[in-house]
Structure 1
């Protein structure tokens, strides 16, 4: 089976042609590295010089495509060249092949070649000196080091710098990717937070407006219509106030008007009074103290959304709101009559339960909402437990 060599790179073709042309030029003018008659020259004459020259040029074609094959072939060409009068072009091409073998070869080859060429240079110095006992014999090792060890070491240095640059670029790309992921997650989290705030602030008032406007349209009674319009106006004003607060948050305080304060648990009484004005029979039993601001806001929104759902979906009857500050947490329970209503009094999207569950999860709390059976019949019960330990004031919901 024939071995198919890889296709050479364009730059390598130019390098091979330049080396071959330079070698032919020096061969044409009779310039060699050794004079005829030396003991090491086994092949006299000018023509034997061309064989290693062409072989080295052919190896240059593979300097990057197959660096191991190229350096092995170059080594054979260099040994052959030493048995002739020699060509400087062959020596120069071999140094490039050694450099390319370290730079473009495998990591194992890049580690081994400098050691191999270094040991070969030492041996080429010590062995001739031990045999001939003349200082000039050490120059053989110097020549071997210049031809092999120097380009191999240079290739290793360049390769290390290249690998370090690629690693730095990779780290920069990974850092940029992580930053983009963090930015995307931050934007997603902020959008979810604003969606919860918008739903909790507007849904309660719009649900009351929808219910009372339906009553005003369905009942031909002036007093009932007037009462419904009064409730509609109150909820409209409160909804606008909440929207202004949200706009103030979005503009980061750039609005000329001071946004309304963030609701707290102390506002639950006002919230329950508003629910009663909207037609709910609500009782509030709250006992708490020293609750962090993030927990206060989450608890207030959970109660607010529970009352909104009760207004839209609950059967006639009493709605109970219970808050208790226990060791390590704030427990919330909102129960409303369940069943007996075919359709809701106002349309809903189902996002309220999702928002309440998200608020509890952001504080590492628990949330559940499901029907239960009790002495007073079937109830829809919303339960949440919000931890109040290890909660910093800087957390946002």
Structure 2
């Protein structure tokens, strides 16, 4: 499809319009006939002169120029007509104008020909070159004469075919280059779309991690305060916690907006496993009992920074899910180094409200779980979520950075 749209315009721009080319060829040929430039060739296959007047050469010249008008719309017909005009011109004694017109038609036919027709033209040219030379030898001519006749026929038939083949290959190369450029542009467009989609997904994930957790804490603490009888001290403590979460959300959102508007491309500040203590304290303030179990801090320091940030965000989302869907539950956070810069994280929470209340609902399979899974996959890890009768478990295996 692309080749058909690209190659023909390239060929069309390399030629004058057919009426102009035919008119100029007829004018040049007529001028040469008037000057007496005829009888270019001599031999057994060429006439010895026009019968009566040299103006008879205008007849094959006019026929050949008429064939030039058909060379694009009907190249085969134009070639047959031009060949007949050339043979007539040779019978009359040969003139330069008709030869030029035949050259143009043969070249155009070779350009537009199908592979099958090109093979026919090559075979015909070979016969046209070898035939007169062999015939000259059989007629008793000297070998030098036969070779000269063969060279003349080669110049007449092989040159335009050779030239057309070179131009056609050039046009095919141009068409292939145009196709390649179009494909590269399409690939670049798809790459840009993919990059934009990935960036939007990353932004949505960061907004969820940085802001949604704080706003959920605001909603949980305010709901707890409203569900209890008025108590000045408790309500004031709840308001202080709400204010703290709101300010933290504002700070995180402002930092993210500043990063997005910045042209410095500085990486955002990442949370580490050392920050899990503060995360656990905030979760306790939302009414869940959390116990953090970690090995020696020195072993966690070897964990890859990207893996540490991923583990922190997964733990943050898991604790938020426990606070929303199982308030008052007991939660255990276990984190350990798996070697090679990796980490294993497990967040295990009960599904029964503390104090013998009704069973809490299981976490919804919504944005939170999708975000945790995306973060684990982003570092080449795996996230497993298990929901039993009495507990809900989030387990993440996070490898270190790949070499």
Is the contact between residue 20 and residue 89 of structure 1 (CA under 8 Å) also seen in structure 2? yes
In 2, distance between residues paired with 1:279 and 1:195?
27
Using structure 1 for the length normalisation, give the TM-score.
Answer: 0.79
Partner SS, residue 132 of structure 1: coil
Aligned to 1:267: 275
Point out where structure 1 has 5 or more consecutive residues left out of the alignment: 1-8, 393-397
Q: Does 1:12 align with 2:28?
A: no
Structure 1 residues 260 and 76 mapped into 2: Cα distance closer, same or farther (>3 Å)?
Answer: closer
1:313, CA displacement in angstroms?
A: 1.5
**Equivalent of 1:353 in 352, 369, 372:** 369
1:45, CA displacement in angstroms?
A: 4.9
**Equivalent of 1:234 in 238, 241, 244:** 244
Aligned to 1:44: 51
In 2, distance between residues paired with 1:308 and 1:36?
100
Structure 1 residues 357 and 70 mapped into 2: Cα distance closer, same or farther (>3 Å)?
Answer: farther
Matches within 5 A, 1:128-277: 128=136, 131-133=140-142, 135=144, 138-218=147-227, 219-252=229-262, 261-277=269-285
Is the contact between residue 110 and residue 156 of structure 1 (CA under 8 Å) also seen in structure 2? no
In 2, distance between residues paired with 1:126 and 1:97?
27
CA deviation vs aligned residue, 1:191-250 (integer Å, no higher than 9, x gap): 211211111011111101112223344542212210111111221232233234423432
RMSD of Structure 2 on Structure 1 (CA): 3.8
Structure 1 residues 189 and 86 mapped into 2: Cα distance closer, same or farther (>3 Å)?
Answer: same
Is the contact between residue 23 and residue 89 of structure 1 (CA under 8 Å) also seen in structure 2? yes
1:383, CA displacement in angstroms?
A: 2.3
Is the contact between residue 107 and residue 164 of structure 2 (CA under 8 Å) also seen in structure 1? yes
In 2, distance between residues paired with 1:92 and 1:178?
47
Is the contact between residue 241 and residue 260 of structure 1 (CA under 8 Å) also seen in structure 2? no
Structure 1 residues 91 and 37 mapped into 2: Cα distance closer, same or farther (>3 Å)?
Answer: closer
**Equivalent of 1:311 in 323, 341, 366:** 323
Aligned to 2:6: none
1:331, CA displacement in angstroms?
A: 2.7
| Aligned positions, number | 374
State which drifts further: 301-310 or 360-369. 360-369
State which drifts further: 167-176 or 292-301. 167-176
Partner SS, residue 316 of structure 1: coil
